[in-house]
Amino acid sequence: MIQSVTRQLLIGSVALFILLVLSGCATAQADPAPTGEAYTFHGLQYDPVEAAPDFELFDHHGQPIRLSDFKGKLVLLYFGFLNCPDACPLTLSTWSVAYRMLTEENDGNDLNSDDLRFVFITVDPERDSPTLVRKHLDLFNTDFVGLWGTVDDVEDIARSYNVFMQKVDSESAAGYLVNHTTLTFVIDQNGQLVLAHQTDITPAELTADIKQLLQ
């Protein structure tokens, strides 16, 4: 279904794209909202919001962790894998810089304990052990949550978020790669999916969205 939808949308998008180009590229670039005006979130907004599918996975201690354990906190959720040295660290790095910016603005106080969780789920559980996931995330921020599950469980969860993941053979000495959706899902304090951020979001934009949602 998605494919046929995409085809229809492509046709519509091309027409709209031409309009955008004609109206000038500058208008298509996102600008920070001037003060006094309504805040504009970055990325894609869920309208209306919808309940984030709950799941249970495991941390590096083997402790079961459910998404619903984080109710009352803002959750950023990303599906990635460790043998992905380029795209996945891009998001983790953006998170890391944003987290540092938020902590600095909070007089150096940790935001993570009360308000915020950054959650990474490996889409390559066969190669990424829970311990390796932990070590990898520690390169960016020791507060980031790393979750692991069986291939079947992770596939089910990915599907519930419309996340595409597919193992592909490669000529690389690194072995197979996993093509995957690189959206970050933003889940509010009530467990509702509100935003999906793309990899090109800047730390400043991410920080602004988080502050707005934590207000």
Residues that bind another protein (CB under 8 A): 1-2, 5-6, 9-10, 12-13, 16-17, 20-21, 25, 28-29, 44, 46-47, 50, 82-87, 89-90, 93-94, 96-97, 132, 135-136, 139, 162, 164, 168, 170-174, 177, 179-183, 196, 198-200, 202-204
State how far the alpha carbon of 14 is from the alpha carbons of 9, 26, 28, 61, 188, in Å: 8, 18, 15, 49, 33
Give the nearer residue to another protein in terms of CB position, either 68 or 199: 199
Give the nearer residue to another protein in terms of CB position, either 73 or 201: 201
Taking a C-beta distance cutoff of 8 angstroms, is the pair 98, 203 a contact?
Answer: yes
Report the nearest approach of another protein to the CB of residue 91 (Å): 9
User: Could you give the CA distance from residue 15 to residue 78 in angstroms, rounded to a whole number?
Assistant: 32
State how far the alpha carbon of 63 is from the alpha carbons of 66, 116, 147, 155, in Å: 10, 20, 10, 20
State how far the alpha carbon of 127 is from the alpha carbons of 104, 133, 156, in Å: 36, 10, 18
Give the nearer residue to another protein in terms of CB position, either 5 or 38: 5
Give the nearer residue to another protein in terms of CB position, either 117 or 136: 136
Report the nearest approach of another protein to the CB of residue 26 (Å): 8
Is 91 strand, coil or helix? helix
Which token pair is 127?
């190669």
Report the nearest approach of another protein to the CB of residue 114 (Å): 25
How many residues are given for the chain?
215
User: Could you give the CA distance from residue 212 to residue 205 in angstroms, rounded to a whole number?
Assistant: 11
Report the nearest approach of another protein to the CB of residue 187 (Å): 15
Report the nearest approach of another protein to the CB of residue 110 (Å): 19
Give the nearer residue to another protein in terms of CB position, either 26 or 38: 26
State how far the alpha carbon of 10 is from the alpha carbons of 15, 47, 158, 159, in Å: 9, 21, 25, 23
Give the nearer residue to another protein in terms of CB position, either 73 or 123: 123
Report the nearest approach of another protein to the CB of residue 174 (Å): 5
